[in-house]
Structure 1
Amino acid sequence: MGEFEGKAALVTGAGSGIGQAVAEELARRGARVAALDVRTDAAQETAAGLPGGTERHLALTADVTSVDEVDRAVNAAVDALGGVDMLANVAGIPDDAALCHLMSPDQWQRVLSVDLTGPFLAARAVLPSMLERGAGAIVNVSSLAGLVASAGGVAYTAAKHGVLGLTKRLAVEYGPLGIRANAVCPGYIATPMNLPYREMVKEAVEATPAGRWAEPEEVARLVAYLLGPDAGYVLGAAFSIDGGATAL
């Protein structure tokens, strides 16, 4: 469980849900983690709860839609940790499954800013550190809604499809330079973001071959694999972790 010893990771959306689980998984495997969240208290709580606490890990606050805030946070991570070897883009928000004609342009823009522009800005800021090292790994969290049009509203679906395009292009541009990029597409994961919709998706969850919600830790283990050395030949791929939903 020490394959990330000597490595540094930045995790966005680390204050809860999948992001928190990813931070915990990477730390358990030996990485020093910069836990970034828009909520200062949540980022601090995550960092403090990792093995070694805040003496080993870093809490960062940033709105992933802000160029300046993301750049400052990444610079702080690079300074504190000596660079960034791994990036997990997890931060995201839902769109309440709003229909297109009922969605305001402001809501559309907000969802795309967090769910698609956020991963772009984080990757943009982290890549110079990885290029300097000649190595790195990025995992972007897309969604079941990045593969099909039945798992979110119009903004969320568009953004999560876009994340897959971003991932593929990063793999094409930076793979030859030693930097891998891949995506995961979670389905029904029991997180604070998803559980408020439990009644809305109850029948869909029960209809999956798995027939249940997944825990964030299950996604975190897949993310850790893709960030790690055993996935050295995996580039530009999108991995479903949806209980078989897309197999139906």
Structure 2
Amino acid sequence: MNIQGKVVVVTGGASGIGKAMCERFAQEGARGVVVADLDAAGAQRVAEAIGGMGVGINVAVEVELQALVQAATERFGQVDVFCSNAGIIVRGDEDTPNVDWQRHWDVNVMAHVYAARAVLPQMLARGEGYLVQTASAAGLLSQVNAAPYSVTKHAAVGFAEWLSIAHGDRGIRVSCLCPQGVLTPMLMGADGSQRSQSFLGEGAVSPEAVAGAVIDAMREERFLVLPHAEVLTFLQRKTADYDRWIRGMRRLREKVVGMVRR
């Protein structure tokens, strides 16, 4: 898909990957870019900078996603591309409180479901549309120090696969974004300290690089978007010998947990 002349909605658009995608879509000649975020003021700032439309939204609430699609459609006539990009991470294990498990499920998974329910009817009626689902390399591999994040990102990848299988022959294109570290507030931590970066920041790329990878994948209508090319190698090793891969991930977890404790 060529973005020029298209109408694009991006959730989590006030910062990080979402902001970079909004900016890149505008540069590519999108007719309309709708910047949606829980940070309504931040969404408005990004929208004003690119001549788009800013909307405050909690993606964990289905009626708010329905209202977002309706507002974008009323403003621009239709939605050609919907980027389900908003996400959260709390680092923890199986004992992470239920409330945090539920928040991950609501934002990292159900928000994708709600968006699809809201936007697919008009796309299917036209026989074309594009869904960009932001998951993570953790959804293909794992996140060794964040169980709720890893589990819900696996689910996000699974839902993206299902959407492509179910609707690909009806004109709906799906790309699933699975980066490793990206230099965003989610990665760096609230204080932006070197300790927050440590192992997590190793090999991290800029949000702008990720946005460029998304554009490239959409032009080619590729399912997997891998800003870190090595993720494909890791995935191939995983599927080639699952038990060996798990042993290697155990060693990685010990390293990671040890660095966090220091």
| TM-score normalized with structure 2 length | 0.82
- Aligned residues between the structures: 230
> Does 2:129 align with 1:133?
no
1:51-62 counterparts in 2 under 5 A?
53=51, 57-62=52-57
Kindly name which structure, 1 or 2, has the bigger radius of gyration based on alpha carbons.
2
Using a 3 Å threshold, how does the CA distance of structure 1 residues 82 and 175 change in structure 2: closer, same or farther?
A: same
Q: Is the 8 A contact 1:9 1:84 kept in 2?
A: yes
Partner of 1:216: 207
Partner of 2:147: 154
1:81-160 counterparts in 2 under 5 A?
81-95=76-90, 97-101=91-95, 103-160=96-153
* Structure with greater helix percent: 2
Identity rate, percent: 31
Partner of 1:34: 34
Whole-Å separation in 1 of the counterparts to 2:142 and 2:4 = 40
Whole-Å separation in 2 of the counterparts to 1:5 and 1:182 = 18
Deviation at 1:58, TM superposition (A): 1.1
**Considering only aligned residues, what root-mean-square deviation do their CA atoms show, in Å?**
1.9
Q: Give the secondary structure class of the aligned counterpart of 2:18.
A: helix
Partner of 1:241: 227
Q: Is the 8 A contact 2:139 2:151 kept in 1?
A: yes
Using a 3 Å threshold, how does the CA distance of structure 1 residues 126 and 152 change in structure 2: closer, same or farther?
A: farther
Whole-Å separation in 1 of the counterparts to 2:18 and 2:103 = 20
Deviation at 1:22, TM superposition (A): 0.4
Q: Give the secondary structure class of the aligned counterpart of 1:140.
A: strand
Using a 3 Å threshold, how does the CA distance of structure 1 residues 199 and 242 change in structure 2: closer, same or farther?
A: farther
Structure 1 segments, 4+ long, off by >6 Å, are none
Whole-Å separation in 2 of the counterparts to 1:13 and 1:89 = 8
Partner of 1:47: 47
